[in-house]
């Protein structure tokens, strides 16, 4: 099978998600948010992607795994954005 890299790239763009995520308390820890929003399969995976600098909060790279994410903040990871409400 011969795959054109442009086609693969376009199909990834089609899977980009913008997620509205409702929290009930004052905040949610970043690792828990990534897992609960379905962006990471496990908390361990969430820790790794944060340590690697692949997650941003409000447009800034976030390296704190237990960073408190509050209503009104946005979290981005691999083209997906989670808007916390």
Say which CATH number the domain at 34 has: 3.10.290.10
Tell me whether residue 3 is in a domain: no
Q: Which of 6-10, 14-18, 26-30, 75-79 has the lowest mean pLDDT?
A: 6-10
H-state helical runs in the chain: 5-14, 30-36, 43-51
Spatial contact of 72 and 84, defined as CB atoms under 8 Å apart: yes
Strands 80-84 and 60-61: unpaired
Domain count, the chain: 1
pLDDT in tens, 42-79: 999 999 999 999 999 999 999 999 999 999 999 999 99
In a domain, 57, yes or no: yes
The domain in which residue 57 lies consists of 23-84
Q: What does the alpha-carbon distance between residue 13 and residue 60 come to, in Å, rounded to a whole number?
A: 22
- Taking only the tens place, the pLDDT of each residue in 29-46 is 999 999 999 999 999 999
The rounded distance, in Å, linking the Cα atoms of 21 and 76 is 13
């Amino acid at each position: 099978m011969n795959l054109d890299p442009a086609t693969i790239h376009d199909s990834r763009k089609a899977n980009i998600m913008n997620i509205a995520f409702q929290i009930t308390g004052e905040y949610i820890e970043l690792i828990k948010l990534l897992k609960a929003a379905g962006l990471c399969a496990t908390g361990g995976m969430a820790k790794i992607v944060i340590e690697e600098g692949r997650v941003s909060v409000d447009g800034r790279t976030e390296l704190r795994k237990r960073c408190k994410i509050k209503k009104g903040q946005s979290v981005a990871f691999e083209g997906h954005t989670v808007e916390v409400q």
